[in-house]
Amino acid sequence: MNNSHDSFHKIDEKWSPRAVRKAALVLLSAALLAGSGSFLPQAASAAPATAATGFADVAAKHWAASDIAWAAAAGYVQGDGDGRFRPSGKLSEPEFLALAARAYGIAPAKGTASGAAWHAPYYTAAAAHSWAAFHAAQPNARYTRGEAAQLLASVAGRSGGEADAVAWLLAEGIASGRTASTAAGYESGSTLTRAEAVTLLRRMLKAHPAPGGAPSTNTAGPQLRGIGLGDSEAALIGKLGAPDRKDPAQEGFVWYIYNKDYTRYMQAGVSGGKVVALYSGSPQAFEDGGGLWQKLRPGMSTASLKQASGQTIPAANKTFSFTSGGIKTTFYLDTLDEGKLDAMLVLSGSSFGTAPSADELASAYEREVLDLTNAFRAKRGVPTLTWDDTAALTARKHSKDMAKRDYFDHTNPDGKSPFDRMEAEGIRYSAAGENIASGYRNAIEAHNGWLNSSGHRKAMLNELYTRLGVGVYDSRYTQNFYTPL
C-alpha cells in the first residue's frame, strides 16, 4: 500500500491550500556487506518466492529452509537480486567474516584508507578481536568448512588448529557434519556453501549468544534515560517512575509512554517483565550505550551516523533498518534537514504475544501522534500543543469517512472542507489546519512521513496553533490543528 499524506491550512480566515502530496514510503533494510553482490538487497524481480523462505530457489522442504528464512528475517542476508538465495553457492571468507561480525555486533574498523576494498575494515576488526582469518591477501580464495570452524571457535574465544575447532563445533552441537557427526564426516576440506554458513551461524548464536542477543543487562545496546534493552520492568519503573500512559503495540508488547517532559520524551516497550523496545527522537533522552549504539544521537549527520554505526545509508532514505547482535535498529531520518537522524527505534525479539484490536491500536496511535508532534516541536523550541477532544472527534470522523468511502482528500465527496467539519462540531478558530496520511503501519511511521514533507512539517511546527486533535481509522490518519478565537 502506498503511504500518502496531504496538508491544508486556513489562517485568519484566508485560504492557504497546500498541494496534494502522495509519496510511497519504502523501508530499506541494511546491506549486509558493502560492495559484495552476494547478500546485498537488490531491486525486486519477477522470480516467484516461496512463502516459507522468501526465495524462489529455496523450497519449504529444503534442509536449511528454516535457517535461511531466519537469516533473511534477521536482516543478515537478502539474496542475490533476482529473488534467489543460491543455497549451494560458495561463500568467500570476507562474506562469512562480515556475516559473523553483523550477527555479533562487531562494527567494521574505522579509519580504513580511502579506496580500500569493502572487506578491509572487517579483516581489521577481526584481527582486533582475535578472530581467525586466513585470506586477507586473497579474499576470493576458496573458503573451506575447516576454516569456517576456526573462525567460529575463535569468536567463542578458543584458540587451536582446525582439528580442535571441528571437534569443538561437533561437541557443542553447532555442526553435525555433512555425512556423519565425526571429524571425517564434517569434511573440513570442502567448500563452505551459503546454506551451511547461515545454519552454522544460527546454531552458533544459540550456543553462544551475541551480547544483546538475549540481553540481561542494560549495557548491550542503546540507553534512554538510563534504561536499556533487557532491563526489568521493575528497574524501568524504579528509574523513571510509573509511565504517564500505557499503549498497546502492534507487535504484542506494551509501550510505556514517558511524556511529562517532551524534551526527554521516550517510549519503552515491555513484554514478559522485560524491556524489549526503545524509541525516542529527543537528544536529551539519549545516553551512551554499548557496542555500535554507543554514540548514536538524534541530530547526527549522515556521515557521523555512518561512522558511529558502520552502516551505509542510501541517499534520500527516510528510514533505514538493520539487525546486529539480535537487536533490530531503525533510523528515522530527516530528509529536509540534510538527512540527519531524527529518531531511533530498537527492538529485541519478534514475537511478544497476541496483537491488540484495531480499535485499541487506533486509540493508542492518536495519542502517540500528539506526543510525537510535541516532542518534535519541543526539540525545535516551539511551544507544545494541547489535546482537544472536539478536534479529535472531527479528525476521527474524517479518517473513518475516507476509509469507508474510499477516497483520500481534505474535501469529502459532499464538498465539505476541514474547516466546514470543524465548524460543524462547534470549533471556532483564528487559525486552523489539517494533515492527513494513509497506509502507515503505526504512529511513528506516519509521523516520520509527515515531517519529511514540507507542508506537513510546517503545520506541525506552526507556532500559531495551540491545540491538536488526532483521528485514526484503518490506517488513515488525520491531524486537526487550531487556535481558539
What pLDDT, on a 0 to 100 scale, did the predictor assign at position 119?
Answer: 84
The mean pLDDT of 160-178, rounded to a whole number, is 87
Bigger pLDDT: 273 or 217? 273
Q: What mean pLDDT do residues 226-231 have? A: 88
Q: Does pLDDT of 141 surpass 50? A: yes
Is residue 16 scored above 60 in pLDDT? no
Pick from 2-16, 109-123, 366-380 the range whose average pLDDT is largest.
366-380
Q: Report residue 397's pLDDT band, with 50, 70 and 90 as the boundaries.
A: very high
Over residues 400-405, mean pLDDT:
97
Measured CA distances, 232 to 212, 214, 249, 273, 274 (Å): 14, 13, 18, 6, 4
How much of the chain, in percent, has pLDDT values that exceed 90?
51
pLDDT higher than 90, residue 349: no
Domains of the chain: 64-109+117-207 (no CATH), 225-347 (3.40.33.10), 358-484 (3.40.33.10)
pLDDT above 50: residue 47: no
pLDDT digits (tens, 9 = 90+) for 304-345: 888 888 888 888 899 999 887 778 899 999 999 999 999 999
Which pLDDT band, with edges at 50, 70 and 90, does 70 fall under? confident
Where is average pLDDT lowest: 24-28, 40-44, 93-97, 417-421?
Answer: 24-28
Cα(175)–Cα(164) distance, integer angstroms: 13
The answer to whether 6 and 22 are in contact (CB under 8 A) is yes
Q: Which three cell numbers stand for residue 402?
A: 475516507
Residues 344, 281: Cα–Cα separation, whole Å: 6
In the structure, what pLDDT confidence band is assigned to residue 3 with cuts at 50, 70 and 90? low
**Distance between CA atoms of residues 218 and 216, nearest Å:** 7
Q: What Rg value do the Cα atoms of the chain yield, rounded?
A: 25
Give, in order, the Cα–Cα distances in Å from 295 to each of 47, 126, 212, 276, 459: 41, 22, 17, 20, 31
pLDDT of residue 239: 87
pLDDT at residue 398, as a whole number: 98
User: Tell me, what's the pLDDT at 255?
Assistant: 98
SS (H, E, C) the chain: CCCEEEEEEEECCEEEECCCEECCCCCEECCCCCCCCCCCCCCCCCCCCCCCCCCCCCCCCCCCHHHHHHHHHCCCCCCCCCCCCCCCCECCHHHHHHHHHHHCCCCCCCCCCCCCCCCHHHHHHHHHCCCCCCCCCCCCCCCEHHHHHHHHHHHCCCCCCHHHHHHHHHHHCCCCCCCCCCHHHHCCCCECEHHHHHHHHHHHHHHCCCCCCCCCCCCCCCEECCEECCCEHHHHHHHHCCCCEEEECCCCCEEEEECCCHHHCEEEEEECCEEEEEEECCHHHEECCCHHHCCCCCCCCHHHHHHHHCCCCCCCCCEEEEEECCEEEEEEEEHHHCCEEEEEEEEECCCCCCCCCHHHHHHHHHHHHHHHHHHHHHCCCCCCCEECHHHHHHHHHHHHHHHHCCCCCCCCCCCCCHHHHHHHCCCCEEEEEEEEEECCCCHHHHHHHHHCCHHHHHHHCCCCCCEEEEEEECCEEEEEEEEEC
| Amino acid identity, position 274 | K
User: What is d(CA 275, CA 230) in angstroms, rounded to the nearest whole number?
Assistant: 5
pLDDT of residue 117: 86
The per-residue pLDDT for 33 is 24
How does pLDDT run across 355-393, given as a tens digit for each residue?
899 999 999 999 999 999 999 999 999 999 999 999 999
Provide mean pLDDT across the span 9-32. Answer: 28
pLDDT at 310: 81
Length in residues, the chain: 485
219 confidence band (pLDDT: 50, 70, 90): very low
Which of 195, 220, 223, 200 minimizes the C-alpha distance to 210? 220
The predicted model scores a pTM of 0.60
Query: In Å, how far are 21, 256, 280 from 265, measured between CA atoms?
Result: 29, 11, 6
Higher pLDDT, 213 or 407: 407
pLDDT for 42 beyond 60 = no
Checking if the pLDDT of 69 tops 50, the result is yes
CA-CA distance, 293 to 324, in Å (whole number)? Answer: 10
**pLDDT tens by residue, 445-485:** 999 999 999 999 999 999 999 999 999 999 999 999 999 99
User: Quick one: pLDDT band at residue 288, thresholds 50, 70, 90?
Assistant: low
pLDDT at 19 over 90: no
Closest to 436 (Cα-Cα) out of 407, 405, 466? 407
Residue 205: the pLDDT is 81
- Rounded to the nearest integer, the mean pLDDT of the chain is 83
| Mean per-residue pLDDT, 271-283 | 94
pLDDT tens profile 77-105: 766 666 788 899 999 999 999 888 888 87
pLDDT tens track for 241-253? 999 999 999 999 9
Mean pLDDT, range 403-427, rounded to an integer: 97
| Rounded Cα gap, residues 480 and 465, in angstroms | 10
Q: What are the Cα distances from residue 341, in Å, to 141, 308, 337, 446?
A: 39, 12, 9, 16
